[in-house]
């Protein structure tokens, strides 16, 4: 079930809200158990079998969390067991087939392994590890009830595509949150805005991107560039839209998730880009991998190795494919050029175009189905294929309104919004939310094309 489906908007969410805010049972225990049950149902809707894997992960990490607290014996051994257990599950379902395939290509007699990837396994695995590590570090107390750990790991707004919610961020809110009308009223427009990003902008950009990446031999240079730009816009509005919806839904139930995007295409450097893009992932790797390895408080050689480890893991986290590994290495090299070559400082006013260019180039590698197709697409960007301008003219002329809207929505419109008097802002937001929701209903009911990119991770 996806947030932009009719089942979610007209059945699941209204029923959940009615049950949660019923006038008869309003205790914290009831509401937490209800959220846990509906979250498990939400996941089981698309993963009838792998929901058991989620439940095993919850139970195992709850048990290990009780044994890594500051006053427990052998707590370091239990922490190690937790990390190994979580990564082992992720490896088996996400990377085992890739490893066997590549070792088989080297001549080792290994069987072919093809396991269906559980939806959201990378997200909920990292959250479960965050729980155990934060308890071990003494940042938050262990939850005595497995139901509370289950709610943290499986809470449906962020379960299958993030953002990665750190345990220390919401530990106090599991039992101590206060649902308010102000939070609910802030959550609804945030959810609707995210839905608009996804349904109107991301899905429209996907039409152009799919046409370009699926017809490599017939690409002209303009169509290749249009496809690359469209994919960059698609993945941004797809993922940031989902994050907005998750944040909005969290507010409706009294939870406050941290922001996951901050206008990344306005970044003035690659370093700046990763402070703005998928913030929950980059900060997770910073706090749980980069800093424990020594961060930048080490020799230059060791610092390089630390960054290399982080960016290899970032690439691998996104998928079991050489393209993702090279994508991560590409960012590592660019960050090294900035850190040690000061290249971003030498570019002056060209810093933003330089950054955006390399982000686009690496999105091509991210989107291509394999390295061969990525190479063919890079060739089309700079030399063109056998195609003419017909496809470019067709897609640009038919989608120019959506393209313009997507580009405008990448700009810092919030600054202009804040200049409007508060009373007018509230009225405009209310009217805009109702109008946008009415438009979105027609899109949701009438559209059959509704993928979420990050469901694959």
Q: Cα(157)–Cα(243) distance, rounded to whole angstroms?
A: 9
Does the residue 360 lie in any domain?
yes
Q: How many alpha carbons fall within 13 Å on the CB side of residue 294?
A: 14
Rg, Å, the chain Cα set:
23
Q: pLDDT tens, 254-308? A: 999 999 999 999 999 999 999 999 999 999 999 999 999 888 888 888 989 999 9
CA gap 262, 76 in Å, rounded: 36
Confidence (pLDDT) at 456: 58
The reply to whether 292 and 378 lie within a common domain is yes
Catalytic residue among 74, 175, 256, 318: 318
Task: Quote the pTM value.
Answer: 0.91
User: Based on the domain organization, do 157 and 192 belong to the same domain?
Assistant: no
Same domain? For 155 and 226 the reply is: no
**16 inside domain:** no
What is the spatial distance between Cα 267 and Cα 288, in angstroms, rounded to a whole number? 25
Tell me, what's the pLDDT at 261? Answer: 94
Cα(100)–Cα(112) distance, integer angstroms = 7
278 is catalytic: no
309 pLDDT band, cuts 50/70/90, is very high
- CA neighbor of 82 nearest in space, from 74, 162, 207, 34: 74
What average pLDDT does this structure show over 191-202?
A: 93
Total count of domains within the chain: 2
366, pLDDT greater than 90? yes
Region of 78 on the Ramachandran plot (φ > 0 left; ψ -120 to 50 alpha; else beta): alpha
Does one domain contain both 220 and 89?
A: no
Same domain, 27 and 136: yes
- Average pLDDT, integer, range 344-367: 90
The pLDDT confidence band at residue 387, using thresholds 50, 70 and 90, is: low
Q: What is the pLDDT of residue 451?
A: 58
Same domain, 146 and 267: no
> Looking at the domain assignment, is residue 405 inside a domain?
yes
* CB 5 within 8 Å of CB 450: yes
- Domain boundary at 156, 178, 200, which? 178
Query: Does 450 score more than 70 pLDDT?
Result: no
The pLDDT > 90 percentage for the chain reads 55
Per the structure, the complete domain to which residue 154 belongs is given by 22-178
Which pLDDT score is estimated for 241?
94
Beta carbons of 363 and 235 less than 8 angstroms apart: yes
Which token pair is 146?
Answer: 């497995």
What confidence category does residue 235 fall into, taking pLDDT thresholds of 50, 70 and 90? very high
Domain annotation covers residue 5: no
The tokens describing 400, both together, are 């120019």
């Amino acid at each position: 079930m996806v947030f932009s489906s009719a089942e979610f908007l007209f059945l699941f969410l209204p029923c959940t809200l009615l049950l949660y805010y019923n006038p008869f049972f309003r205790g914290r225990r009831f509401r937490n158990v209800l959220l846990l049950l509906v979250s498990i149902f939400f996941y089981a809707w698309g993963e009838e079998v792998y929901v058991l894997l989620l439940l095993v992960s919850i139970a195992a990490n709850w048990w290990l969390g009780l044994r890594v607290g500051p006053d427990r014996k052998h707590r370091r051994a239990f922490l190690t067991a937790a990390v190994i257990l979580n990564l082992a599950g992720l490896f088996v379902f996400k990377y085992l087939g890739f490893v066997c395939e590549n070792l088989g290509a080297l001549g080792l007699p290994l069987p072919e392994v093809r396991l269906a990837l559980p939806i959201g396994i990378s997200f909920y695995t990292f959250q479960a590890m965050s729980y155990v590590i934060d308890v071990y570090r003494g940042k938050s107390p262990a939850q005595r009830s497995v139901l509370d750990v289950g709610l943290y790991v499986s809470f449906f707004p962020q379960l299958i595509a993030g953002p990665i919610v750190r345990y220390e961020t919401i530990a106090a809110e599991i039992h101590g949150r206060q649902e308010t009308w102000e939070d609910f009223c802030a959550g609804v427009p945030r959810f609707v805005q995210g839905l608009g990003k996804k349904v109107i902008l991301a899905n429209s950009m996907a039409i152009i991107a799919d046409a370009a990446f699926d017809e490599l031999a017939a690409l002209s240079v303009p169509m290749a560039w249009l496809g690359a730009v469209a994919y960059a816009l698609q993945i941004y509005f797809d993922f940031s839209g989902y994050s907005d919806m998750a944040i909005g839904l969290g507010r409706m139930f009294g939870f406050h998730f941290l922001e996951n995007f901050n206008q990344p295409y306005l970044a003035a450097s690659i370093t700046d880009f990763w402070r703005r893009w998928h913030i929950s992932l980059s900060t997770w790797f910073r706090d749980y991998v980069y800093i424990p390895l020594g961060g930048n408080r080490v020799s230059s050689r060791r610092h390089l190795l630390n960054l290399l480890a982080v960016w290899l893991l970032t690439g691998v986290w996104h998928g079991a494919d050489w393209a993702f590994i090279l994508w991560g290495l590409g960012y590592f090299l660019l960050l090294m050029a900035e850190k040690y070559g000061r290249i971003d400082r030498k570019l002056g006013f060209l810093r933003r175009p330089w950054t955006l260019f390399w982000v686009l180039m690496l999105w091509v590698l991210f989107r291509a189905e394999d390295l061969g197709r990525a190479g063919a697409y890079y060739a089309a960007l700079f030399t063109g294929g056998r195609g003419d301008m017909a496809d470019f003219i067709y897609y640009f002329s038919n989608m120019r309104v959506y393209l313009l809207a997507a580009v405008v929505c990448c700009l810092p419109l919030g600054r202009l919004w804040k200049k409007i008097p508060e009373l007018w802002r509230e009225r405009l937001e209310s009217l805009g939310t109702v109008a946008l929701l009415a438009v979105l209903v027609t899109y949701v009911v009438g559209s059959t094309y509704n993928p979420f990119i990050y469901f694959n991770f």
